Amino acid sequence: QFAPGPLLHFTEDEEMFRDTVAKFAQEVVGPKVREMDENENMDPSIVQGMFDNGLMGIETPEHYGGAEASFTSAILVVEELAKVDPSVSVMNDVHNTLASTCIRKWGSKAVQDKFAERLATKEVGAFALSEAGSGSDAFAMKTTAKKNADGDYVINGSKMWITNSQEASIFLVFANADPSAGYKGITCFVVTKDTPGFSIAKKEKKLGIRASSTCVLNFDDVVVKKEDILGEFGKGYKIAIECLNEGRIGIAAQMSGLAMGAFEKATGYCFNDRKQFGQYIGDFQGMQFQFAQAAVEIEAARLLIYNAARLKEKGVSFTKEAAYAKLYASQVAGNVASKAVEWVGGVGFTREETLEKFYRDSKIGAIYEGTSNIQLQTIAKFLQKESRQ
């Protein structure tokens, strides 16, 4: 149903990546989805499976054990995983498009040598920006980093809502090392799980993506070596937001994948399984027109996503297009997952099927990596600037 339209062109390598991950998602992830959601836990074999199948170092250079594949490949992986489980998909997305990307783009040679291979081959990464008092207003963080007598940094504070906390061992942590400079004091540090004073605290109980861990992180005099600063001192805010511009395309792909997963499941049932009034319910025009509307929305979301990804690969500005993609794909996922539950009727409302889960999972698209209002704000700022040029 969702073969790419004629305007989209993927390379042979990208198609291959997509096929590999589709098989992994269906055969390995599929059977565990319900259990992981009920237990609110990621099965470690799934994480290992992603490493074994080369899905955790997609853009990482080959000499660090990665696949050195395109950004579009990373996006296709997120989309395929989300068709089956948006929780597994976001783990992969945060690991690749946020953690590994930050290390690859801003890490010194020494930082890359220390962490890139570990991230590509065996250790999960996390991205710790948000705090209890600073979500949308992310640069207003209270976590501080103070230089000590050795020239190293001592981090104190707390982060909230951090994806992959339970599974990760390498954390990118944003802290203000010069609050007098406002957000221009924000610096990014690489903190490993075993560092004294660092602890993983409360795990959130959530509406959706329940197999994905989301925790509070505490920093109590955590000493980070000066060599483990990522990029330049005071440039952490740029690292965070430029990385998030890429990550937002990933979340958009999580949402388009989710929409496709829900759509395929529900329409398959309507066209092939369920009869009422002596015919398949999918043969009623009242149903078919809804399917057609949803299919157009999904295709439009995907075009926005792939276009933003290709712009990013070409090295031209893609911030506005990433915001378009995330905003719209989140809306489409919400609409389609909601409709899919309705199309399947009572069965769709039960936990027998994964449709109610897609519906619950879809809500997060409008919240993390910048809420829908933040995407609108980003787009509006561009419109204003473009109009006044």
- Residues lying near ligand FAD in the complex (CB under 6 A): 94, 127-130, 135-136, 161-163, 206, 209, 214, 364, 367-371, 373-374, 377
Q: Which residues contact 337 (CB under 8 A, 6 or more apart)?
A: 258, 259, 262, 355, 358, 359, 361, 362
Q: Residue 245 binds which entry of ligand CAA, ligand FAD, none, with Cβ cut-offs from 5 to 8 Å by kind?
A: ligand CAA
Which of 42, 78, 90, 294 touches ligand CAA by CB under 6 A? 90
Choose the catalytic residue: 14, 246, 369, 386: 369
- Our CB check for ligand CAA shows the closer of 242 and 342 to be 242
Active site residue 369: yes
In degrees, to the nearest 5, what angle opens at C-alpha 302 toward C-alphas 52 and 243?
A: 60
In sequence order, the 6+-apart residues with CB closer than 8 A to the CB of 1 are: 263, 264, 267, 295
Residue 365 is a binding residue for ligand CAA (CB under 6 A): no
Q: Would the CA dihedral through 375, 380, 383, 384 be positive or negative?
A: negative
> Which residue is associated with the tokens 């619950």?
360
Burial class (CB in 10 A: 0-12, 13-18, 19+), 388: exposed
For ligand CAA, which residue of 25, 67, 103, 138 counts as binding (CB under 6 A)?
138
Instruction: Say if residues 139 and 146 touch (Cβ distance below 8 Å).
Output: no
Q: How far is the CB of 149 from ligand CAA (least distance, A)?
A: 31
Interface with ligand CAA includes 82 (CB under 6 A)?
Answer: no
Complex with ligand FAD: residue 262 or 327, whichever CB lies closer: 327
Is 112 a binder of ligand CAA (CB under 6 A)? no
Q: Largest Cα–Cα distance of the chain, in whole Å?
A: 81
368 near ligand CAA (CB under 6 A)? yes
Segment near ligand CAA (CB under 6 A), from 104-112, 125-133, 147-155, 257-265?
A: 125-133
Residue in the shown chain whose Cβ atom is closest to ligand CAA: 368
Does 366 bind ligand CAA (CB under 6 A)? Our answer is no
The closest alpha carbon to 141, from 104, 196, 115, 178, belongs to 178
CA distance linking residue 80 with residue 35, whole number of Å: 20
**Residues of span 43-62 touching ligand CAA by CB under 6 A:** none
CA 190 to chain centre: 20
CA dihedral 74, 316, 112, 169 (to 10 degrees): -50
Nearer residue to ligand FAD within complex by CB, 75 or 344 = 75
Tell me which of 129, 230, 252, 270 binds ligand CAA, using CB under 6 A.
Answer: 129
Whole-angstrom CA distances from 320 to 244, 267, 366, 383 are 12, 33, 16, 9
**Interface residue list for ligand CAA (CB under 6 A):** 90, 94, 127, 129-130, 136, 138-139, 163, 237, 241-242, 244-245, 319, 368-370, 374, 378
User: Which residues are catalytic, by number?
Assistant: 369
